[in-house]
Amino acid sequence: MVECVPIMTDQELASVAAELRIWIIEMLTEAKSGHPGGSLSAIDILTVLWFAEMKGVSGGKLASDRDHFVLSKGHGVPALYAVLAKLGFIRPEELKTLRKIGSRLQGHPDRVRLPIVEASTGSLGQGLSVAQGMAMGLKMEGKSSRVYCLVGDGEVQEGQIWEAAMSAPKFQLSNLCVILDQNNGQIDGHVNEVMPIEPIANKWEAFGWNVIDINGHKISEIKSAFEKSRAAQNSSKKPTLILARTVKGKGVSFMENNIGWHGVAPKADECARAIDEIRKASRG
């Protein structure tokens, strides 16, 4: 039987997310390269997903009939590494090896070096197709496990995303939940200026998805969205898109909504300033 994750309060989850924000900043500073903006925008979502929603992934162990996760926006992997370290799948001290030669913690997910990662991603647009294939396989085998896939809004400009968006409803993959981290930032600028994707909710609904629009930093809304998606698996034949409105660089004032922090690591003084801000905010 799949083990359920321990019940955590919203405040406890928020505290975990704050700690993981600090880990993200520290590992990127040590690596001297990486992507803070999209990692920080996604960490609240990943915290709720891994610590309160997914089944069979607790206690540093993966159950055979667990839920599955694919990080399609692979450049945001520091957030995933922080989660895996907190859950005991990797050692916290290993986070200091991010992006270093020979490390298992590459700048994008590498399933060969780190098998706990469900898919090697980073070439944007491909992860959702992988997640859809996993969901189809589980459905064909009659399993109740779910597949979660995190995509970025810049990534949604890719044509392969739309192929999956069209085909998942055709195959009635109600066990597939896609979370769109809509922070309106990509390496070339703001998404709504580079290649607008709005009205994004209407587009996915028109393709046959169940769409849930939330604040991607409000723990209660994230939890509720996942609960609705899981409940819909038994009552609907539609896959779910959770449209999470987020802030790039969330939690660090000088990074928030600043495109320059898409793929630039903080220096030592910036690291100290960022950690101080996160700690003060977490204390209320």
Q: For 103-124, what is the HEC assignment? A: CCCCCCCCCCCCCCCCCCCCCC
Contacts of 22 (CB under 8 A, 6+ apart): 275, 278, 279
> Cα 127 to chain center, whole Å?
12
Give a yes or no: residue 172 inside a domain: yes
Q: Quote the pLDDT of residue 283.
A: 85
Helices (H) and strands (E) in the chain, counts: 9, 5
Q: Which pTM does this prediction carry?
A: 0.96
Q: Average pLDDT of each block of 10 consecutive residues along the chain (284 residues)?
A: 67 98 98 98 98 89 91 98 96 97 96 95 95 98 97 97 97 98 96 96 98 98 97 93 98 97 97 97 85
Give a yes or no: residue 3 inside a domain: no
Give a yes or no: residue 43 inside a domain: yes
CATH classification at residue 129 = 3.40.50.970
Q: Quote the pLDDT of residue 6.
A: 63
Structural domain of residue 75, as residue ranges? 10-282
Tell me which residue has tokens 């992860």: 127
Give a yes or no: residue 4 inside a domain: no
Q: Are 81 and 116 a contacting pair, CB within 8 Å?
A: no
Q: Are 104 and 184 a contacting pair, CB within 8 Å?
A: no
> Cα 132 to chain center, whole Å?
16
Which of 124, 125, 255, 266 is CA-nearest to residue 183?
Answer: 255
Phi first, then psi, for residue 249 (nearest 5°) are 75, 20
How many domains are there within the chain? Answer: 1
Contacts of 275 (CB under 8 A, 6+ apart): 22, 25, 26
Give a yes or no: residue 135 inside a domain: yes
Give a yes or no: residue 137 inside a domain: yes
Q: Quote the pLDDT of residue 119.
A: 96
Q: Quote the pLDDT of residue 63.
A: 87
Give a yes or no: residue 5 inside a domain: no
Of the CA atoms within 13 Å of residue 166, those in its CB half-sphere come to 5
Q: Quote the pLDDT of residue 2.
A: 45
Give a yes or no: residue 153 inside a domain: yes
